[in-house]
Amino acid sequence: MTYQNKSICVLEDQEIIRNGVVDLLSGSGWFESVLSFGSGEEIIKQIPTLNPPNIILIDIGLPGIDGIETMKILLNAWPVSKMLILQFTKMTTMFLML
């Protein structure tokens, strides 16, 4: 079941992780729209052209403008959006490989 007008945005610099999360969310039927960006700078440039997503998944360890700073900017621009912070580490990768 798709939740009418529900959208989610994935902000992750590692393409393989970003694509995997997007594929999972797109196939879930939970969201009408799934957006993705590879950097804080990329999504910040798009703020004026996008409708605020309901949920934003943010990698805390983004290069350049990190996830915390990006989150502050996005919350200021889109106070209605909910933020979830992700952090994948080497240990996470090792665990996922098991």
Residue 95 is assigned to a structural domain of this protein: no
Q: Do the domain assignments include residue 11?
A: no
The encoded tokens of residue 5 equal 């007008």
Asked, for residue 47, whether it belongs to a domain, the answer is yes
Helix (H) or strand (E) holding 4: strand 3-11
Q: In what order do the strands lie in the sheet containing 31-37? A: 31-37, 3-11, 55-59, 82-86
For the chain, the domain total comes to 1
**Distance (Å, whole) CA 61 – CA 13:** 9
What's the pTM?
A: 0.82
- Asked if residue 19 belongs to a domain, the reply is no
Range of the domain at 82: 37-59+77-89
Mean pLDDT for the stretch of residues 42-47: 96
pLDDT of residue 88: 64
**Residue 81 included in any domain:** yes
Whether residue 22 has pLDDT greater than 60: yes
In a domain, 4, yes or no: no
Query: Left, alpha or beta for 58 (phi > 0: left; psi -120 to 50: alpha)?
Result: beta
Percentage of the chain with pLDDT > 70? 85
Q: How much of the chain, in percent, has pLDDT values that exceed 90?
A: 66
- Let me know if residue 69 belongs to a domain: no
Residue 95 has pLDDT above 50, yes or no: no
